[in-house]
Amino acid sequence: MIELLGKSLSELQEIMVSHKIPKFRGKQLIDYIYSRFIFDFQDMTQFPKSLRDWLEKHCTITLPTIIAESISPEGNTRKLLLELSDGSRIETVLMAQHYGNSICVSSQVGCAMGCVFCASTQGGLFRDLTVAEIVGQVVLFRTLADEAIHSLVIMGAGEPLQNYNNTVQALQLIHEPYAFNISYRKMTISTCGWVPNIYKLADEGLPITLALSLHATNDTVRRQIMPVGARYALDEVLEAVTYYYNTTQRRITFEYILINDVNVSQDEAHQLGRIGKQFPNCHINLIPVNGNEHIQLYKPSNKDMNTFKDIVSSYGVSVTIRKEMGDAIQAACGQLKAAHGRKEEIHE
Ligand code: SF4
């Protein structure tokens, strides 16, 4: 079967032409999928019956299946646990922000990176998502939300720069006016610091925002909570991010998780302020850790978090403490999946 989801207009046209179907049917297919959200070939009534039957026999448009859903009490954060065609499960989150709908997409099933504060990595990496599976999360939420998606972050399960080609290809399709028409400036790729592909992404010429999961201001603490820190030293990571900034001129976002007794001393706040100061217009997102029975890490007191923030801010850097939108719906990476079991591990 030929998977049509995730294919660009020219790829669909090629499929049509190679099967002796007129090229213009490719554009009609794209419109059915991304503008009219019609996925059943027999409902594509602009097509003659013979083409509908051919599509049904040889092609597929595979959307993930919804297994579980959590909605925050305020109704503005909606998280889905989705099952893919091989039984693997991923999470996707839709957040209604004041500026529009923002969607948080996964790039892998599981994750190899082993960050100690993250539920997504507890079963290790199972596999990369395909282009269709990355795009499918957006298509599904677009149909459910029934209104445009304003922005997109690749910040769900997985290290997107490890699944580089599929991630970039999916974003290129999502950007197309015939698909979701989301500007690259409203897309963010979050990385734990996969250095070679930060350079590669910088050279891609796409003005995507880069978010670095920094989470520590020295190598000792970073290695303790992020095993990737043993592969790439902090200096190397920051050098790559500097290259990204200089090449794209895009504002860098730094993510910094606040873990009591681990990375929240006043010295670390000063060091974080000094790091932020090196990147004009950067933003630092402080994220209180979201512990659970599997992740026994605790957030600092509100007073300590505010002191930390004030010190960072004293360096003239834009810094906020992320509102804990997700707490009530287990929105921290991987927690909904953990609560419902990890089906792909049952398959292993
Ligand atoms: S925080 Fe991101 S990179 Fe780290 S283990 Fe979780 S999904 Fe992977």
Q: What was the pLDDT predicted at 334? A: 53
- Tell me, yes or no, whether 219 lies in a domain: yes
Same domain, 133 and 189: yes
Same domain, 98 and 198: yes
Number of structural domains in the chain = 2
Confidence of residue 74 (pLDDT cuts 50, 70, 90): confident
- Return d(Cα 299, Cα 251) in angstroms, integer: 27
Q: Is the pLDDT of residue 347 over 50?
A: no
- Tell me, yes or no, whether 328 lies in a domain: yes
Ligand 1: centre distance to CA 63 (Å): 24
In sign, the C-alpha dihedral spanning 126, 132, 135, 141 is negative
Same domain, 37 and 116: no
pLDDT per residue as tens digits for the range 97-121: 888 899 999 999 999 999 999 988 9
- Return d(Cα 39, Cα 42) in angstroms, integer: 9
- Tell me, yes or no, whether 73 lies in a domain: no
Task: State how beta strands 187-191 and 149-154 pair.
Answer: parallel
Q: What is the mean pLDDT of residues 253-263?
A: 96
Same domain, 86 and 49: no
Q: Is the pLDDT of residue 342 over 60?
A: no
pLDDT per residue as tens digits for the range 141-200: 999 887 899 999 999 999 999 999 999 999 999 999 999 999 999 999 999 999 999 999
pLDDT per residue as tens digits for the range 323-340: 754 444 444 455 555 555
User: Tokens 């998280």 sit at which residue?
Assistant: 79
Centroid of chain to Cα 242: 22
Pocket lined around ligand 1, Cβ cut-off 6 Å: 111, 113-115, 118, 120-121, 157-159, 192, 213, 333
Quote the DSSP letter at residue 89. Answer: E
User: Tokens 């029934």 sit at which residue?
Assistant: 146
Active site residue 333: yes
- Tell me, yes or no, whether 68 lies in a domain: no
Phi-psi region of 298 (alpha: psi -120 to 50; beta: other; left: phi over 0): beta
Give the atom of ligand 1 at the shortest distance from the alpha carbon of 121.
Answer: 5
Same domain, 111 and 181: yes
Amino acid residing at 144: L
Task: Calculate the average pLDDT of the chain.
Answer: 92
Same domain, 96 and 46: no
Range of the domain at 172: 80-347
Confidence of residue 216 (pLDDT cuts 50, 70, 90): very high
- Return d(Cα 179, Cα 33) in angstroms, integer: 8
Q: Is 299 helix (H, G, I), strand (E, B) or coil?
A: coil
Angle, helices 164-175 vs 131-145, to 10°: value is 40
- Report in angstroms the alpha-carbon separations of 324 from 68, 126, 300, 338: 21, 29, 13, 19
- Return d(Cα 141, Cα 17) in angstroms, integer: 31
Ligand 1: centre distance to CA 55 (Å): 38
Q: Which of 14, 91, 255, 345 is catalytic?
A: 91
Ligand 1: centre distance to CA 120 (Å): 7
Answer for the pair 104, 151: CB distance below 8 angstroms, yes or no.
Answer: no
Ligand 1: centre distance to CA 158 (Å): 6
- Return d(Cα 309, Cα 321) in angstroms, integer: 7
Q: What was the pLDDT predicted at 348? A: 27
Give the domain-ending residue among 28, 60, 92.
60
CATH of the domain at 27: 1.10.150.530
Centroid of chain to Cα 184: 14
User: Tokens 């049917």 sit at which residue?
Assistant: 25
Same domain, 15 and 139: no
- Tell me, yes or no, whether 71 lies in a domain: no
- Tell me, yes or no, whether 290 lies in a domain: yes
What is the best residue among 121, 127, 223 to mutate for testing ligand 1's pocket, by most ligand atoms within 8 Å of CB?
121
Same domain, 107 and 50: no
Same domain, 227 and 317: yes
Backbone dihedral angles phi then psi of residue 107, each to the nearest 5 degrees: -120, -15
In sign, the C-alpha dihedral spanning 79, 81, 83, 89 is positive
- Residue of 117, 121, 159 lying closest to 288 (CA atoms): 117
What is the best residue among 90, 105, 115, 155 to mutate for testing ligand 1's pocket, by most ligand atoms within 8 Å of CB?
115
User: Tokens 């974003």 sit at which residue?
Assistant: 171
- Residue of 341, 325, 340, 255 lying closest to 78 (CA atoms): 325
User: Tokens 């504002």 sit at which residue?
Assistant: 251
CATH of the domain at 157: 3.20.20.70
Same domain, 112 and 37: no
Give the atom of ligand 1 at the shortest distance from the alpha carbon of 192.
Answer: 3
Q: Which of 159, 282, 333, 344 is catalytic?
A: 333
Ligand 1: centre distance to CA 307 (Å): 27
- Nearest-CA residue for atom 4 of ligand 1: 115
- Report in angstroms the alpha-carbon separations of 239 from 223, 225, 246, 269: 18, 21, 10, 20
The neighbouring-strand residues paired with 90 are 82
Beta strands per DSSP E along 98-158: 100-105, 108-110, 125-128, 149-154
Q: Is 293 helix (H, G, I), strand (E, B) or coil?
A: coil
What is the best residue among 111, 231, 255, 287 to mutate for testing ligand 1's pocket, by most ligand atoms within 8 Å of CB?
111
Ligand 1: centre distance to CA 333 (Å): 8
Amino acid residing at 21: I
